[in-house]
Structure 1
Amino acid sequence: MSGLPADGPGLIRGETGTQRLLGYVLDVRGGHGGSARCHMAITADHTNRHGVLHGGITTSILDNAMGATASLTADETGKSPFLTISMTVNFLSPGFPGQTIVATGRKTGGGRSTVFIDGVLEAEDGTLIATATGVFRKVPSHRLKEGA
């Protein structure tokens, strides 16, 4: 893997404030076995005071890939709303500025409204940076509107 994916169908850029702030690309294209991916180039803005990828950003990228994977279980465009109920992250190796990282989600169980998703975050050289497990719940779109 090298760099961020080029534009095309199923590649989502700049859809949310978080996505614009962090600069990741969400990949919900077919061909990943029902898994969504988040691609991000690590910059100095993504680091902690020790100069490596911040754990909060690691968690956010994993959460986005895993949540989109949950959405793909209900909608092939990955836009069906699922929210995180719980998530556990294991930090295994540092990520460094200049690396491109990819977070991938994989459904491991559940039903139509609650699903269990595993996530992995890897550097472009294959180094495993973090793993995660999470539980995600489908939410009706009207419940996400203010005041609903």
Structure 2
Amino acid sequence: MPTITWSSLLTSAPPDPFREINDPGCQQLVGYRTQMDTRAGSCEVTLDLQPQHQNRIGVLHGGIVATLLDVVCGNTASAFFDRESHPNLVTVSLNISYVAAARSGPVIATAKATGGGRSIAYVNGELRDEDGALLATATGIFKRVRG
């Protein structure tokens, strides 16, 4: 397979592989930011923690953790199928292990597709705090849907 290198002699810059994903609904309600790297097929979801994200003992609510991991794993699964068209899919299964609690600062979710086929993708995700401490892990199965 030939290697394509972007030449400094070209007049335009190489295409930016990073793309913001803006979904109505849940993203607007929770306030996270989603960025796709179409070149690598990866996704990063970031949330700056606010009081409304905390549970009654003052730490990041487990439901918000699950939401962030579902979003990052789902977008990564979508990129597994097609990095450019961002096909629709549904979550078949999402298992989460809660490791530590976060009280403040940004949290960052990342994921990696580990396999799959024409309509199913398997993805592992992690949620970390701004210092890189692991907060939660996830394993998910996602199904591509038409339409």
TM-score bin, normalised by smaller chain: 0.7 to 0.9
SS in 2 for 1:80: coil
Match of 1:48 in 2: 55
TM-score by length of 2: 0.84
Q: CA deviation at 1:109?
A: 1.2
Q: Which amino acid aligns with 1:108?
A: T
Q: Which amino acid aligns with 1:62?
A: L
Aligned length: 131
SS in 1 for 2:52: helix
Q: CA deviation at 1:29?
A: 2.2
Q: Which amino acid aligns with 2:124?
A: D
Distance in structure 1 (CA, Å) of the matches to 2:47 and 2:143:
25
Give yes or no for contact 1:121–1:131 (8 Å, CA) kept in 2: yes
* 1:82 partnered with 2:108: no
Q: CA deviation at 1:75?
A: 2.3
Distance in structure 1 (CA, Å) of the matches to 2:35 and 2:128:
15
* 1:131 partnered with 2:137: yes
Q: Deviations over 1:19-40 (max 9, x none)?
A: 0011111111235x32211111
Give yes or no for contact 2:18–2:38 (8 Å, CA) kept in 1: no
Of 47, 68, 75, the match for 1:68: 75
**In terms of mean alpha carbon deviation, does 71-80 or 112-121 score higher?**
71-80
* 1:117 partnered with 2:123: yes
- Two-structure CA RMSD over aligned residues (Å): 1.5
Give yes or no for contact 2:60–2:101 (8 Å, CA) kept in 1: yes
For structure 2, the 5+ residue unaligned runs are 1-16
* 1:18 partnered with 2:16: no
CA pair 9-108 structure 1, distance change in 2 beyond 3 A: closer
| Higher Rg | 2
Q: CA deviation at 1:9?
A: 5.2
Sequence identity percentage = 37
Distance in structure 1 (CA, Å) of the matches to 2:38 and 2:82:
12
CA pair 118-36 structure 1, distance change in 2 beyond 3 A: same
Give yes or no for contact 1:11–1:29 (8 Å, CA) kept in 2: no
Please identify runs of 4+ aligned residues in structure 1 that moved more than 3 A: none
CA pair 71-94 structure 1, distance change in 2 beyond 3 A: same
SS in 2 for 1:126: coil
SS in 2 for 1:68: helix
For structure 1, the 5+ residue unaligned runs are 1-7, 142-148
